[in-house]
């Protein structure tokens, strides 16, 4: 679960990381009052869970309360990279002397955490990382030891950060541990003209598996979740909406990921990631098809199942149950292999539904699904 900037900012403040004064609002008139409380000038920032807000016009410096209200009217309701702006944060402006980048992120390959820091922070940090990798320090962090003052000094030195940033590095690690985060990022961490260090922007990603410990977050992300993802979650289905035209259903995350890659290699775009799991029933299969077929962007569906605990005849029964219930108009390409595959194929052959087509191999099924999506 990603947090909004204002939520990340509150976590930083709770753990003693200096941040500028700020307030949030959903009202242009209230934006005027907040700017007045902040001293007149303010930075108006769209609260959306995506990058590139500044370049998209979602972050603006205003000179007075009247300009704050006008700017709020212009930004509220705007679409930024597919995210509708519903909330604004107005922050006290800061005279910046230097901008830095600091973060801790889970390194899944290494089974630990990585500190990433640079003395060249700001909106172009991605370009810095790509074109000047030597300017970005990557320091492994031992999970048991954590980030002590000595470790923070090591990270700051490697990245070329001022020594006084070490305290922020220690406290940022405390945010990660206390909040069960997978990522904590400050960009930019700045040295103000007066010399003090401030976190001007923040990003925090929490571990969904730790929600039972982090109960205060509840359903804060519900308004940003795609309606189909919400529907799938209520049915206990692992579904992620993607920007494509071929619906994907498989059993097992590895198989589904491979299927996405093969479809993309055939010149089509996957419309989703949907894993029915290892012990899915015919009802789960039917529910999965319901979710995928409800996506108006889907032009064809690829069901790729390797039978194990979930036998292929069960999958076939679920497909036919969904077809009877939903009366789809989009073609389905089915590849069954493994446990009870022959029986599953026979079930589909016997029904001979005009929209259900079987292909023996994953590559062949992906090619056919891509062809159907392009001709639908």
**249-288 per-position pLDDT tens digit:** 999 889 999 999 999 999 999 999 999 987 778 888 889 9
Collapsing DSSP to helix, strand or coil, 8 comes out as: helix
Residue 302 has pLDDT above 70, yes or no: yes
145 flagged as catalytic:
no
The CA distance from 9 to 29, in Å, is 23
The tens digit of pLDDT for each residue in 132-159 reads: 788 899 999 998 899 999 999 999 999 9
Residue 87 is given by DSSP the state -
Beta bridge partners of 43: 61, 91
The tens digit of pLDDT for each residue in 102-112 reads: 999 998 878 88
% the chain with pLDDT above 90:
71
Collapsing DSSP to helix, strand or coil, 189 comes out as: strand
Residue 320 has pLDDT above 60, yes or no: yes
pTM of model > 0.75: no
The tens digit of pLDDT for each residue in 173-224 reads: 999 999 999 999 999 999 999 999 999 999 999 987 777 787 776 555 555 5
> Which residue out of 23, 69, 185, 245 is catalytically annotated?
185
Candidate from 41-50, 121-130, 298-307 with smallest mean pLDDT? 121-130
> Which residue out of 4, 69, 101, 245 is catalytically annotated?
101
The CA distance from 309 to 307, in Å, is 7
Cβ distance 336 to 313 under 8 Å? no
Peptide bond into 213 cis (omega under 30): no
Q: Up-side HSE of residue 329: CA atoms within 13 Å toward CB?
A: 5
Predicted pLDDT of residue 266: 96
101 flagged as catalytic:
yes
SS (H, E, C) 105-124: EEECCCCEEEEEEECCCCCC
Collapsing DSSP to helix, strand or coil, 353 comes out as: coil
Helix (H) or strand (E) holding 366: helix 362-375
CA dihedral over 221, 224, 226, 227, signed as positive or negative: positive
Candidate from 6-20, 98-112, 113-127 with smallest mean pLDDT? 113-127
Higher-pLDDT residue of 216, 364:
364
Strands, DSSP E only, in 47-196? Answer: 59-62, 79-80, 83-84, 88-91, 96-107, 112-118, 136-141, 181-192
């Amino acid at each position: 679960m990603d947090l909004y900037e204002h939520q990340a900012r509150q976590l930083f403040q709770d753990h003693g990381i200096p941040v500028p004064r700020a307030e949030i609002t959903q009202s242009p008139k209230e934006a005027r009052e907040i700017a007045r409380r902040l001293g007149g000038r303010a930075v108006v920032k769209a609260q959306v869970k995506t990058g590139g807000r500044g370049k998209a016009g979602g972050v603006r410096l205003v000179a007075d309360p009247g300009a704050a209200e006008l700017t709020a009217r212009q930004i509220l309701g705007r679409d930024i990279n597919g995210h509708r702006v519903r909330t604004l944060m107005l922050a006290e402006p800061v005279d910046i002397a230097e901008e830095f980048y600091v973060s801790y992120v889970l390194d899944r390959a290494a089974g630990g955490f990585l500190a990433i820091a640079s003395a060249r922070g700001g909106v172009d940090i991605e370009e810095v990382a790509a074109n000047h990798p030597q300017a970005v320090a990557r320091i492994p962090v031992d999970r048991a030891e954590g980030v002590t003052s000595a470790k923070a000094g090591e990270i700051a030195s490697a990245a070329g950060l001022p020594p006084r940033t070490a305290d922020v590095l220690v406290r940022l690690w405390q945010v990660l541990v206390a909040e069960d985060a997978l990522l904590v990022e400050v960009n930019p961490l700045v040295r103000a003209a007066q010399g003090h260090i401030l976190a001007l922007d923040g990003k925090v990603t929490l571990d969904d598996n730790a929600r039972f410990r982090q109960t205060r977050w509840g359903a804060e992300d519900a308004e940003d979740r795609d309606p189909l993802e919400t529907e799938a979650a209520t049915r206990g289905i692992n579904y992620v909406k993607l920007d494509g035209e071929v619906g994907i259903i498989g059993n097992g995350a590895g198989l589904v990921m491979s299927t996405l890659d093969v479809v993309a290699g055939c010149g089509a775009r996957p419309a989703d990631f949907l894993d029915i799991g290892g012990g899915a029933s015919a009802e789960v299969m039917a529910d999965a098809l319901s979710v995928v077929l409800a996506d108006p962007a889907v032009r064809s569906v690829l069901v790729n199942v390797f039978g194990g605990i979930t036998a292929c005849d069960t999958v076939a029964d679920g497909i036919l149950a969904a077809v009877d219930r939903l009366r789809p108009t989009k073609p389905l390409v089915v590849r069954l292999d493994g446990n009870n595959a022959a029986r599953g194929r026979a079930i589909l052959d016997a029904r001979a539904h005009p929209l259900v087509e079987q292909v023996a191999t994953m590559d062949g099924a992906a090619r056919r699904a891509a062809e159907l999506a392009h001709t639908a």
